[in-house]
Amino acid sequence: MSRKKGQWTPKVTSLRKVIVDGVEQWVEFDPATYVIPAGHPYYDIVGMQKHELRKGA
């Protein structure tokens, strides 16, 4: 008996922690639909990293 070998591909899931009725749960979500709001600290962090790269640190 011979079986045809197939390519294995991992399933990538993105999870985020939410609190519902005082209980923490991990919920799957699509990151393509998530928008980081204006003024979020994430933009400051990315801006600092770009500045450091330009400086040549």
Model confidence pLDDT, tens digit, residues 9-54: 887 788 888 898 999 999 988 878 878 788 888 777 777 766 666 7
pLDDT at position 7 over 80: yes
Q: Is residue 1 part of a domain?
A: no
**What is the rounded distance in angstroms from the CA atom of residue 43 to the CA atom of residue 51?**
12
pLDDT at position 57 over 60: no
Range of the domain at 36: 15-55
Q: 9 by DSSP, 3-state: which?
A: coil
The gap from C-alpha 31 to its chain's centroid, in whole angstroms, comes to 6
Q: Is residue 32 part of a domain?
A: yes
Q: What is the pLDDT of residue 32?
A: 80
Q: Is residue 9 part of a domain?
A: no
SS3 content of the chain, % helix, strand, coil (to 5): 30, 20, 45
**How many domains are contained in the chain?**
1
Q: Is residue 3 part of a domain?
A: no
